[in-house]
Amino acid sequence: MTSDLIGVRQRADELSGANGVVKGPLKGYHHETYVLSLPGETRIVKLREPRDRILWFDRRCFHSEEELLRALHGRVSRIPDVYDAEGMALQVFIEGRTLKPRPWEDKRVSPVVLDQIVGLFEELARITQDTLDVGRRCEPEDRAENGDCDGFLERLIVFVEDQVYKDNHLRFGRLFEDLGIGEEAFDHLRKNVSGLTERDFFLLHADLHRENFVLDPLNQLWTIDWELAMVGDPLYDLATHLYLMSYPADQKRRMAEEWFRVVHGVRPESTRGWEEDLERLIDFKKAQSVFTDIIRVSLSLRDGSGFNWVRLPAAVRKLQAVMTAAARPLGLTEVPSRSRIASALVR
């Protein structure tokens, strides 16, 4: 355990007091997270800090997730409370289980859960930039104008191009080249996803996957991890959700239709051109995954100073799958064979 992580654990122990219980670290890529009880309190909170030298693959909009959560209370149902302890803003821990299916289950979610996700989309449609007083990371000139969905998507593409691909080219450039992916892939991507209809912007969670939903013992669905929230094209939130959830075809179709129904009821200008543009935005998510997964998979195979041969077959299957899914938007003439992918990863 590094000295920084020891520091996080030490702070958790100090906050919980002599008789407190600290659990962790919890599984997570970006943060070192502990769950603890506070002296004299019944609530359980999370203490977390960003891990050192972690690569961020997503554009972030707001300065503080906790500040955003405070602003959303009373406007979005079932999100974590924020508790102040010794000058720190801590999120209350939501007890329950995520929507990640067990190995023997399929990826279908219950109608009760589906309805609650639809309700979340309806609440988000009511929250626009001018009604949300929360500090932003990006400068005004680096934000797309309301309705400029092409401009919004271009900023996401630039982030992947500059801060995922180019910034990591020194370490991973050879791997990208061996897999047949070069800078021209971004030209193909822009050609395949541009020309979006203008839609009015509102607040997006932007990371609505199964492990960011927690179902409590009363079957109430809570939405956690708002760190990637942003203001932008509302259809991007739906596309990201559908891509990450991997619904069965009938539930994917129902979720899209229900999204249109509730968002159109609140803000009709935010649903213009949604049927034509949805697959384009899903194509962007497929393409984005190629760049992020190549790096993450490569890192996952490093076991101390050696190479984790046991993980290699699953890593190869994953990369071939994501590259196959993104072949058209990235303009890939062929997807590398499994032996070629394996050789590239080993090199």
Residue 193 to residue 208: CA distance in whole angstroms: 21
Least confident of 4-18, 36-50, 171-185: 4-18
Determine how many CB atoms are found less than 10 A away from the CB of residue 315. 19
Residue 255 burial by CB count (10 A; 0-12/13-18/19+): exposed, middle or buried? Answer: buried
Examine the pLDDT at 80 and tell me if it is beyond 80. Answer: yes
What value does the mean pLDDT take over residues 183-197? 97
pLDDT at res. 184: 97
Q: DSSP readout, 203-218?
A: EE-----GGGEEE-TT
Single out the residue of 31, 26, 27, 80 nearest to residue 51, CA to CA.
31
pLDDT at res. 84: 85
Least confident of 10-19, 49-58, 235-244: 49-58
pLDDT at res. 28: 61
Q: In which band, very low, low, confident or very high, does the pLDDT at 41 lie, cut at 50, 70 and 90?
A: confident
Examine the pLDDT at 189 and tell me if it is beyond 60. Answer: yes
pLDDT tens digit sequence for 93-149 = 999 999 998 887 889 999 999 999 999 999 999 999 999 999 998 888 889 999 999
Residue 308 to residue 303: CA distance in whole angstroms: 5
Task: Dig out the tokens for 346 from the structure.
Answer: 């080993």
Examine the pLDDT at 192 and tell me if it is beyond 90. Answer: yes
pLDDT at res. 3: 43
pLDDT at res. 49: 75
Single out the residue of 112, 97, 120 nearest to residue 210, CA to CA.
97
Omega into 25 within 30° of 0, i.e. cis?
yes
What value does the mean pLDDT take over residues 59-73? 94
Residue 71 to residue 82: CA distance in whole angstroms: 11
pLDDT tens digit sequence for 163-173 = 999 999 999 99
Determine how many CB atoms are found less than 10 A away from the CB of residue 318. 18
Strand segments (E) across 145-269: 202-204, 213-215, 221-223, 230-232
Angle at 128 between CA 292 and CA 62, to 5 degrees: 45
What value does the mean pLDDT take over residues 22-44? 74
Least confident of 14-18, 88-92, 289-293, 339-343: 14-18
Percent of the chain predicted with pLDDT > 70: 93
Name every residue whose Cβ is closer than 8 Å to that of residue 159 and which is 6 or more positions away in sequence: 58, 59
Decide which of 329 and 33 is more confident.
329
What value does the mean pLDDT take over residues 181-189? 97
Mean pLDDT, the chain, as a whole number? Answer: 91
Q: In which band, very low, low, confident or very high, does the pLDDT at 1 lie, cut at 50, 70 and 90?
A: very low
Examine the pLDDT at 55 and tell me if it is beyond 80. Answer: no
On whether the CB atoms of residues 58 and 163 are closer than 8 A, the answer is: no
Examine the pLDDT at 22 and tell me if it is beyond 70. Answer: yes
Examine the pLDDT at 5 and tell me if it is beyond 70. Answer: no
Examine the pLDDT at 237 and tell me if it is beyond 90. Answer: yes
